[in-house]
Structure 1
Amino acid sequence: MLANPATALELDHVSRHFDGRAVLSDISLSIPAGKITCLLGQSGCGKSTLLRIISGVDRPDPGGRVLVGGTEVAGPGRFVEPEDRRIGFMFQDYALFPHLSVADNLAFGLRHLSRPERRERVAKVVERIGLGHLLDRYPHSLSGGEQQRVALARALAPRPSILLMDEPFSNLDQGLRERVRRETVDILRETGTTAIMVTHDPQEALAVGDMIVLMRAGRIEQVGTPFEIYDRPCSAYAAEFMGPCNRLTGLWSQGRIETPIGAFRADLDMPDGALALACIRPQALSIGPDGQGISARVMAKTFTGESEQIDIMVHPLAQTLRMHSHVRIPMGIGDKVSLQLNGAQVHVFPEEPGTDDPLDQS
C-alpha cells in the first residue's frame, strides 16, 4: 500500500474484546497529517483503549490493522513494538521522572542519539516551548502548568510522527487549563505536529480539534470538523452530547415534525405518522412581551455571568424548555411571555426509544 502524505494514521476494522465484551467494534478511521484530532466520548466508550492500540501498548483483535504513514505496525502476522513506531505519548498525569531534573527528563527519550545531538535537540525544544528557566528544577517544584509544558516538550523532543495525548489538561484548574490548552495548541500548530487527543469534554474538543471523532459504546458515532459535528449532528445522541438540547417528540407529516411549539422541516426518509424527535438548542429560543408569539410563562431564572439561563413553560408540554440569553431579560419568575424560535438551531431525527443519555457518565 502506498502512503498517502495527507494521512498520518489509518485504522482498518479495529476491534478489541476483553473477557468476551466488545470495547471497540470495527473501527475504521483515517487521521489527517499535521492536524489535531480529538477522540471524544463519555467514560467507557473505548477512546483510551483505541489510543493504547495506536501506541502499541495493546493489540487489536485478529483482523484489525493499524498503519502509520502507510506502513502496517499492527495486523495479521505483524506487530511493531511501541518504541519503534515513532509515536509519542503524553500521559494524563504527565509521568515525569521525579528523580530527574527537567533537562534530564527532556533528554530521557533521546538516548539513541549522541551526546551533542541530545544537547542540540533539547536546546531546540526548550527554545520552542520556553523552558530555559526550568532546566535545573525537579518535577516536585513545578506548578501544574509547568509540569504540563515539560511533559509536552519531552514528548516532542524525539520528533514523533504522531503525538498521543490522554486527557492532557484534566488535572489543571479551569482558568489555568484554558491558558495551557491555548499554549499547547499553538505549539502543536507551529510545529505541524499530528496529534490525537482523548477528551470527554465536548467544549474542549470544539475548541481544540481540527477533526472530532465522537465515539459511543465502542463505535464511531460521527466524524467531522467542529462546525460539522455541532451544526449537523447525525443523531440525537450526537446533538445532545455536543451541547444542551430541549427534546420534543412529535409526529412526522409531509416532511416536517409537528410539535406543540411549531412545525420543523427536515430531510428525513420517514412515513407520515411516525414519531420523530426535535432537539432544540437553548440559543434557538428567545422570549418577548406576551402577545407576540407562543404563549409561555417564566418558571425559573439562573444568572451565570456571561448569560442567563431561563426555564419557560409552554402548554401543553409536561416539562419546561430551557433557553440561554446573553441579553438581560426584564421578565420575572411567573410572568407571561411570548416564545419565539430560530429554526436553524433545531435538529430533527427519527425517534429512538431507549436511547442512552449522552450526559450519563456512569
Structure 2
Amino acid sequence: MHANPASSLELEAISRHFEGRAVLSDISLSIPPGRITCLLGQSGCGKSTLLRIIAGVDRPDPGGRIRVGGVDVVGPGMFVEPEDRKIGFMFQDYALFPHLSVADNLAFGLRALPRAERRKRVARVAERIGITGLLDRYPHSLSGGEQQRVALARALAPEPAILLMDEPFSNLDQGLREKVRRETVETLRRIGTTAIIVTHDPQEALAVGDLIVLMRAGRIEQAGTPFEIYDRPHSPYAAEFMGPCNRLTGIWSDGRIETPIGTFPADLDLPDGSLALACIRPQALSIGPDGQGISARVVAKTFTGESEQIDIMVHPLAQTLRMHSHFRIPMAIGEKVSLQLNGAQIHVFPEPPAVDPLQPET
C-alpha cells in the first residue's frame, strides 16, 4: 500500500459554540506531518468536537481557518466538504456495515475507482493490516480486536493524508487493548500517515503520541512531546492530569519554595513571601536508612504487583503523602520511617485560586 505523502495540519482560531456555550475557544495548533498526535483530556473538554471539525462533519464558528498540507479547507467564505479533504475518520464504535463483508467494507470508500483497482487496493490494505484471512467474513463474526483492525484498514484504504481516530482502543479489554494499540501504532509509523488520536487516558497518550495536546474546558492547556508535558508541566492541572501528585502549599523565598518537608528551587518569578504550590510525584518519595531523612509514619500500604503504594503521615501536615516503591518495604502500618525526597520529580507553581472548578475528575 502506498499512502499519500503525509500532510501537515494547521488550525487557527477555531471556536465552536452550542446554544451559547463555548465548547471550543480560540484553538490554534500545528500538527506535524507523518507523526502521531494525541488529543488528550477528560470527557467534555472538546477534543471529539475538534476532531469532527477537522474531519468536516461539523463546522467551526466563523473566523477560524484550517489548512491541510498548506491548502485551506476552512476559511472566510469557504468550506471543503469532508469527502474532498483526503482525511480518514475511524469512529470509536468502528461503524462497520453489518450487511457487508469485510472486503466490501474496505471497498466502500473506493467506489470512484475502477473495479479492478478497487480489488487490488482492498487486497493491499488487507495484507498490510494483516486481515487477509477475514475478507469473506462479516462484522458480527469478528472479535473486538478483529473489528478494530478492519475499521483501521477501511479508514486507510482511500490512502488519506491525515487519519483521525476517536478513542480507537476504548472498546477493547485491557490485555487486548495494549496489543492492538502497539500493532496499530507500528502500522501508522510504517505507512507514515499523519494520525490524530483522541484519548482520555494519559498513559495511552504518553505511550503513543509524538505530540500530546492536553485540552481543558475547550482550550489547549499544554502541548508538547510526552517528555515535555510529563517532566515540565505548565500548570498544576497538567501535572496532576499526567500522573498522581502530592500537593503541598509553601512560602516562596529567594527562588525556592519552603514546605514542611523541605525547600525546593524553581524557575518562577514570584515576590518573596507569596504562596506557591509544590506538586510532588509519588516516585519522588522513598524510605531511607534510620535517621537519614524526615521522620514519618506509615499509615496504609497497597500492593499492586509491580509496585507498592504507601501512604505516609508527616508532622505537621494534615494530609498524608503517597509514595510508590518498586522495592518491598518491610515496615508495618503504624511504624516510624525516614522519608527522603528526589527533587527531580517535584514541580512548583504559583498558588492557584482557592476554588478551582476545573480540577481533573477523580
- Do 2:237 and 2:360's aligned partners in 1 also have CA atoms closer than 8 Å? no
Residue 359 (structure 1) aligned with residue 360 (structure 2): yes
Corresponding residue SS for 1:83: helix
Q: Which runs of 5 or more structure 1 residues have no equivalent in the other structure?
A: none
Deviation at 1:174, TM superposition (A): 0.4
Report the Cα offset of residue 76 of structure 1: 1.0
Equivalent residue number for residue 197 of structure 1: 197
- Helix, strand or coil for the counterpart of 1:328? coil
Q: Is the 8 A contact 2:7 2:162 kept in 1?
A: no
1:228 maps to which residue? 228
Paired residue for 1:350?
350
Q: CA deviation at 1:357?
A: 5.2
Amino acid across the alignment from 1:28: S
Specify the code of the residue in structure 2 equivalent to 1:266.
Answer: A
Q: Which amino acid aligns with 1:14?
A: I
Q: Which residue of 1 aligns with 2:100?
A: 100
Contact 1:290/1:336 (<8 A) preserved: no
Size of the alignment, in residue pairs?
Answer: 357
Give the drift of 1:333.
0.4
1:78 aligns with 2:78: yes
Give the corresponding residue for 2:25: 25
> How far did residue 6 of structure 1 move?
8.4
Q: Tell me what 1:177 maps to.
A: 177
Secondary structure in structure 2 of the residue aligned to 1:185: helix
- Please report how far the alpha carbon of residue 358 of structure 1 lies from its aligned counterpart in structure 2 after TM superposition: 4.0
Instruction: Tell me the C-alpha RMSD between the 2 structures.
Output: 1.1
Distance 1:328 1:192 in 2: 43
Q: Is the 8 A contact 1:42 1:358 kept in 2?
A: no
Matches of 1:16 and 1:131 in 2, distance apart?
39
Counterparts of 1:99 and 1:75, CA distance in 2: 38
Q: Residue 66 of structure 1 aligns with which residue? A: 66
Q: Indicate the residue corresponding to 2:46 in structure 1.
A: 46
Q: CA deviation at 1:132?
A: 1.1
Normalization by structure 2: what TM-score?
A: 0.97
Decide whether the 8 Å contact of 2:161 with 2:194 is kept in 1: yes
Q: Name the CA distance, whole Å, in 2 between partners of 1:179 and 1:323.
A: 29
TM-score, normalised relative to structure 1:
0.97
> Deviation per CA, 1:180-202, whole angstroms, max 9, x where unpaired?
00000000000001000000000
Query: 1:332-352 CA deviation, whole Å, 9 max, x = no partner?
Result: 101100000000000000011
Does the alignment pair 1:124 with 2:151? no
Deviations 1:210-243 (A, max 9, x none): 0000001110011100000000001111000000
Matched, 1:341 2:357: no
Partner of 2:290: 290
- Distance between the aligned counterparts of 2:317 and 2:176, measured in 1? 42
Are the counterparts in 2 of residues 7 and 30 from structure 1 also a CA contact under 8 Å?
A: no
Q: Is the 8 A contact 2:40 2:214 kept in 1?
A: yes
Residue in structure 2 matched with residue 258 of structure 1 by the alignment: 258
Give matches, 1:230-245, under 5 Å.
Answer: 230-245=230-245
Identity of aligned residues (%): 84
| Cα distance in 2 for residues equivalent to 1:231 and 1:247 | 16
The farther-off stretch of 89-98 and 118-127 is: 118-127
Which structure 1 residue ranges, 4+ long, deviate > 4 Å from structure 2? none
**Structure-2 change in CA distance of 1:296 and 1:242 (3 Å):** same
Cα pair distance change 1:157/1:7, threshold 3 Å: closer
Q: CA deviation at 1:289?
A: 3.9
Q: Secondary structure at the match of 1:310?
A: strand
User: Does the 8 Å contact 2:7/2:161 carry over to 1?
Assistant: no
- Corresponding residue of 1:301: 301
Equivalent residue for 1:168?
Answer: 168
